[in-house]
Amino acid sequence: MQEKIKGYIDHIIFRNEDNGYTVFVLIQGKEELTCVGTFQSISPGELIEASGKYIQHHTYGDQFQIDAYEVKVPEDTQAMERYLGSGAIKGIGPALAARIVKKFGEETVRIVEEEPERLSEVKGISEKKAQEIAAQITEKADMRQAMMFLQKYGITLNLGAKIYHKYGQSLYGVLQENPYRLAEDIEGVGFKIADEIAAKIGIHTDSDYRIRSGLLYTLLQAVGEGHIYLPREILLSRAEDILGVEAEYMEKHLMDLAIERKIVVKTQGEEQRIYGSQYYYLELNTARMLAELNVQCPENPVTVEKNISRIEDGVGIELDEMQREAVRQAAGCGLFILTGGPGTGKTTTINMIIRYFEAEGMSIALAAPTGRAAKRMTETTGCEAQTIHRLLELNGMGQEEGKGIHFERNEENPLEVDVIIIDEMSMVDIHLIHALLSAVTVGTRLILVGDVDQLPSVGPGNVLRDIIRSKAFPVVELNKIFRQATQSDIVVNAHKINAGQPVALDNRSRDFFFLKRDNADIIVRVILALIQEKLPPYVQSEPFDIQVLTPMRKGLLGVERLNQILQYYLNPPSHEKKEKEVGGGLLRQGDKVMQVKNNYQLEWEVRGKYGIPVDKGVGVFNGDVGRICEINEFAEMLTVEFEEGKFADYSFKQLDELELAYAVTIHKSQGSEYSAVIIPLLNGPKMLMNRNLLYTAVTRARKCVTLVGSPQTFQEMIRNERQQKRYSSLDLRIEELGELKI
């Protein structure tokens, strides 16, 4: 049952600025009442009338939960003095508030509301200060009015504040004329939100603004799938589905967008390609910087060979011819690409390249796209590696509010090293390679290492494949499997899969097993038994380090269902574990979770003994895995401990960035390595169930691969070479630059 209360806000106990959730003490008559609720802007001293209900909090006792409220004008001089002296208006403290009330008496409320400039009549308030106070009072009233207006269209407080700060009082005109501007101007407002607002306002579905915004939105969606551009027909077809408008009505808008430089239209053969301008120029500038780094660094061949032989003798390793060639190319080229599958000696070659440059007295930086990959690089080379973001000194706050990502290392402040080696290049998208190249000066050697047969990056582009495909740079591909690697069936079978050859499923292996099951529920039971009982002692790891990799998100063996089941059995509910509902799911203390989008502004710290911070930084990235160690309901915060002891705090509003990670898609596992992987295979879409995906999944395991499911599906995946087409064109931009040079 709804009840009403009225009183003055005495003081605020807690406020979450992200979502407006506030805990405060209300003076009602002579009684104090603890109130909770969501408020767009609220200050001590304000008189409010609210409706809601009394609740009992298990920790904090009796509270009044406010569902709706209205700020009232203070009703008497005492109330006005309390309001003015509360700090609600900057520049007025209790003493000055008392003088204002003494001066104007019963007229104080009216003068503050209608004639605030008269405050200059009070001793201690100049005309300038009176104007500032008047502006604040007007701003507060305007903002409150704007928030109430925006809430009618379902806009949250946090988003409403962004809109108001961007447009001020002109927001009413923006919303009435072209609400699609919100999608372009304000982070957090996508086309769909703008479209919902437009529909409520009554803007027609064939509005020019709507069609243009929808076309840009379609391109942005394609970027989310990894594409740099879309062929014209595909763009129009997709936009038609989204907008419900026929393609012929959209044709002219493409030309308008091109004139406004929001898109770039390129013709390749008979195909017209439509790029979002940002992505066209990202590829073009990346191609230019790659070409600039591609310089010869003349070295005496005899000296190089002697140096290689000396290092071989020193470490007791004899390189094969392709590995020697890789070291030669690295020594003599400004830009060099090393590629090869598992067991082909990439790590040995990298180590020899590092030793070669060390012997020359050169400084070397090692990096990889993810924390996991960087950690593995450190372990295999014995030299410290870091994430590319850390190498570039990520600063989470952009140069402008809301612009997000900013690297301290760039054209103006380049990396001061002689050699940079980047591993797991297949994971690097167009944004990251562009940022890296911007910080590398001509003369610095850049060595890119990766397996071109892995899945492409989660972000847009197909960087490694395109660079190799351009044939403009020195590339060495290692394809010989070394004898020690042939002892691992993971390596041998991975290469068979990649070559499209049949794989024996007779379970005579020590590290590659296939358990035949034809029912999804039975497969789930087998997965649980493997994680809980069988695999931990076999691979000498914790259940936490055993990863389920599945091709799909949906379905009986999809990520969503598997995570729910695995959570229940591997981290069961308990009175001692706090929980938080997110979307349609649940996060529980102790859960294994994954960050599912790049957050360049999220702060983290490494805690030493007694929880004292010993290191800190910003940025948690798509694919980072950790464990929930605390859920604080009062502060509305959740803390995750990521690998390498990094602790990051999430507000409840940010929890859509986290997902359970007992099972993850194979795509999300890129660049990671696990003690053991379990891969359920039964059936699925033809496009997904392909060789490339299976190869990537198998190569994620260090000690053991266990496939559970249908042998037919497994063999069909090996035979299926079809991959989801990724529209990228870095190779063409590189070739164009080469032609210009000629």
> What is the percentage of the chain residues whose pLDDT exceeds 70?
94
Interval 89-116: pLDDT, tens:
777 777 888 888 888 887 876 787 778 7
Q: What is the pLDDT of residues 305-353, one digit of tens each?
A: 999 999 888 888 888 899 999 999 999 999 999 999 988 999 999 999 9
**289 lies in some domain:** no
Same domain, 597 and 453: no
Reported residue count of the chain is: 742
Asked whether residue 370 is marked as a ligand-binding residue, the answer is: no
At residue 40 the predicted structure's pLDDT band, cuts being 50, 70 and 90, is low
Residue 518 has pLDDT above 80, yes or no: yes
Q: Given this model, what pLDDT does residue 402 score?
A: 39
CATH code for position 203: 1.10.10.2220
Residues 607 and 699 reside in one and the same domain: yes
Q: Assign 388 a pLDDT band (cuts: 50, 70, 90).
A: very high
pLDDT of residue 741: 59
Shared domain check, 656 and 555: yes
**pLDDT band per the 50, 70, 90 thresholds, residue 263:** very high
Distances (CA, A) of 596 to 229, 638, 660, 668: 23, 16, 10, 8
33 backbone dihedrals φ, ψ, rounded to 5°:
-135, 125
The answer on 427 and 326 residing in a single domain is: yes
What local confidence, expressed as pLDDT, does residue 455 receive?
Answer: 85
Phi then psi for residue 3, to 5 deg, are: -125, 160
CA atoms within 13 A on the CB side of 658: 30
The annotation status of 343 as a binding-site residue, yes or no, is: yes
Given a cut of 50, whether residue 399 has pLDDT beyond it is no
Q: Residue 403 has what pLDDT?
A: 45
**What pLDDT, on a 0 to 100 scale, did the predictor assign at position 396?**
62
The highest-confidence range among 36-40, 372-376, 548-552, by mean pLDDT, is: 548-552
Which of 448, 481, 514 lies at the terminal end of a domain, its last residue?
481
> For residue 648, is pLDDT > 70?
yes
With 50 as the cut, is the pLDDT of residue 400 above it? Answer: no
346 is in an annotated binding site: yes
Using DSSP's 3-state secondary structure scheme, residue 271 falls into strand
**pLDDT, position 154:** 66
The whole-number pLDDT of residue 497 equals 94
Residues 217 and 72 in one domain: no
Higher per-residue confidence, 18 vs 116:
116
In this prediction, residue 439 carries a pLDDT of 96
Last residue of a domain, one of 144, 170, 196: 144
660 or 621, which is more confident?
660
Mean pLDDT within 390-402? 66
pLDDT digits (tens, 9 = 90+) for 662-690: 999 998 888 788 999 999 999 877 777 88
The sign of the dihedral angle between the CA atoms of 591, 594, 597, 599 is positive
For the chain, the average pLDDT equals: 87
Please indicate if the annotation marks 345 as binding a ligand. Answer: yes
Q: Are residues 322 and 453 in the same domain?
A: yes
What domain range includes position 217? 178-274
618 and 701 share one domain: yes
pLDDT of residue 440: 96
Task: Kindly tell me the sign of the dihedral angle through the C-alpha atoms of 691, 693, 699, 704.
Answer: negative
Number of domains forming the structure of the chain: 4
CB-based burial label for 738 (10 Å; 0-12, 13-18, 19+): middle
Q: At 103, which CATH number?
A: 2.40.50.140
Range of 133-142, 178-187, 617-626 with top mean pLDDT: 617-626
Domain co-membership, 225 together with 95: no
Query: What pLDDT score was predicted for residue 738?
Result: 77
pLDDT digits (tens, 9 = 90+) for 429-477: 999 999 999 999 999 999 999 998 888 888 899 999 999 999 999 999 9
Encoded amino acid at 176, one letter = Q
CATH of the domain at 662: 3.40.50.300
Question: Of residues 696 and 197, which shows the higher confidence score?
Answer: 696
Average pLDDT over residues 230-241: 92
For position 558, what pLDDT does the model report?
Answer: 93
The mean-pLDDT minimum among 142-151, 415-424, 595-604, 607-616 falls in 142-151
Strand partners, 72: 47
List the end-to-end C-alpha distance of the chain, in Å, as a whole number: 81
Task: For residue 742, name the pLDDT band (cuts at 50, 70, 90).
Answer: very low
Q: Where are the beta strands (DSSP E) in 608-734?
A: 613-620, 625-632, 637-642, 646-651, 658-660, 663-665, 674-681, 701-709
Position 37 pLDDT exceeds 90: no
pLDDT > 60? residue 564: yes
Residue 143: per-residue pLDDT: 72
12, containing H or E segment:
strand 3-15
Whether residues 342 and 220 share a domain: the answer is no
Residue 168's pLDDT is 80
Q: Are residues 424 and 543 in the same domain?
A: no
Do 415 and 553 lie in a common domain?
Answer: no
Listed in sequence order, the residues at least 6 apart from 517 whose beta carbon sits closer than 8 Å to its beta carbon are 523, 526, 708, 709, 710
pLDDT at 148: 67
Section 30-44 average pLDDT: 83
Asked if pLDDT for residue 658 goes beyond 50, the answer is yes
Q: Does residue 602 share a domain with residue 672?
A: yes
Residue 168 falls inside a structural domain: no
CA distance 94 to 280: 59
- Whether residue 483 has pLDDT greater than 70: no
Segment (H or E) for 55: strand 47-57
More confident residue, 150 or 415: 415
Coil, helix or strand for 206? coil
Which segments within 269-379 are labelled E, that is strand? Answer: 271-276, 335-340, 364-368
Is residue 61 marked as binding?
no
Which pLDDT band, with edges at 50, 70 and 90, does 730 fall under? very high
Report how far apart, in Å, the C-alpha atoms of 169 and of each of 80, 115, 172, 175 are: 27, 21, 7, 11
